[in-house]
Amino acid sequence: MKRVTILSSADPRQKRGLQVVALTHAKSLRKYGYETVLYCPSLKYESYELEGVPVYTFAFQRRSSSVLNFVTMMDNCWRGWKRHFGKQEPDILHGHDYMTYYFLSKYLSKKVNKIFTVHDPMIYHHKMLGRLPQEPSLKEKMMTHIENSVYARSSKIHCISEYTLVRIADKEALASKLRIVPDWIDMDKFILPVDKGKERLKLGFGSNNFVIYTLRGLQARMGIGNLIQAFKLFKDSIPGAKLIIGGDGPLRNELEELARSLNISDSVTFLGYVPEDEVIKRYQAADIFIMPSIDGEGFGLPVLESMACGTPVLASPSCALPEVLSGKRARLFAGILPEDIAAGIMAFHRLWQVNGIDANAERQYVLDHFAEDNIIKLILDDYEP
């Protein structure tokens, strides 16, 4: 039985995008006979099991100094590795995080097959979030070295979408290593509701409500402000419309003020952090899920999660979303502006009034386009060179 160590950027108990992908990856590989574990930074050195996957952590807390962060993470990452694994090496090291992979891909011997999954290219991601100045800096030089080293040490580089792949610097030189391996979800976890009406009632929605849901980090790139402005444009045309916004982030106060200034606060609910036991219920109870992303959406897991729960998705024609919805092009808005979003939702609502929703067809789309079996085969091809 081959041993695989998957590297994540943070403790998977946080249940954020990349951490969810890494945990799902590990769970799937264990079903295919691989002895898979997760290794990642957390608040302390720890070992535990999550959803059947052994998880090992090393202590790391981010500081304001990039140099201090680099040195501390390097030291603690190695200390944690020796503490948990000693001199034992995995057969395969599969990274989803640049920093831990950078350290361990150098520390482990050449016998270890090293593979890296790119969710967002490192320099692109930090510039998009405004964490790097426009002019050259020491921090950017360090990150460029780390990113290039990660690619150089990898036998294969998996990109979660074409959108992600084209943003890799020197992708032509790396062409022989690059391949697209999309994300997938646990279809046994994200399921159709037994009784949608009952789930809606539990959350306070009646049959006369048209429930519009999104689950996003409240950052500028997520486009939530545009969605709120769009809601103002069509609210009076769709009686009973409710906009439910799950997730938290730095723009929450600003977005709540926007809803108040537009006089739609009575129909817009900010949930904040959505507890794990409520995530699926929220998907199941909605009439439609919206992905209004502007930038940096390397894949878009909520698209699959929502559709697997039987709820259709409308999305911006940006980032990787056209790839994920390639079989449902009519679900893409004409653009990212509030007017585009409003027009798309109103058009969907008209069809919804006539035809309703075929929850089984929504779920089948995920099974047809992002089946675990098919995607895992792409990974196993690189695990068994």
Q: Give me the pLDDT at residue 184, please.
A: 96
Q: How far apart are CA 159 and CA 181, in angstroms?
A: 6
Classify strands 268-272 and 241-246 as parallel, antiparallel or unpaired. parallel
Query: For 157, phi and psi rounded to 5 degrees?
Result: -125, 115
Domain chopping of the chain, boundaries: 3-184+371-383, 196-369
Name the CATH superfamily housing domain 196-369: Glycogen Phosphorylase B; (3.40.50.2000)
**CATH value of 3-184+371-383 in 3.40.640.10, 3.40.50.10190, 3.40.50.620, 3.40.50.2000:** 3.40.50.2000
Distances (CA, A) of 301 to 16, 58, 216, 291, 304: 10, 27, 11, 10, 5
How big is the CA angle at 75 (ends 69 and 76), to the nearest 5 degrees?
85
Predicted structure pTM score: 0.93
Q: Give me the pLDDT at residue 128, please.
A: 78
Q: Give me the pLDDT at residue 127, please.
A: 80
Closest alpha carbon to 89 in 71, 72, 111 = 111
Q: Give me the pLDDT at residue 32, please.
A: 93
Residue-by-residue pLDDT tens, the chain, 385 positions? 899 999 999 999 988 788 999 999 999 999 999 999 999 999 999 999 999 999 999 999 888 777 888 899 999 999 999 999 999 999 999 999 999 999 999 999 999 999 999 999 888 877 877 777 777 787 888 888 999 999 999 999 999 999 999 999 888 999 999 999 999 999 999 999 999 999 999 999 998 999 999 999 999 999 999 999 999 999 999 989 999 999 999 999 999 999 999 999 999 999 999 998 999 999 999 999 999 999 989 999 999 999 999 999 999 999 999 999 999 999 999 999 999 999 999 999 999 999 889 999 999 999 999 999 999 999 999 998 6
Q: Tell me whether the CATH fold assigned to 3-184+371-383 matches the one assigned to 196-369.
A: yes
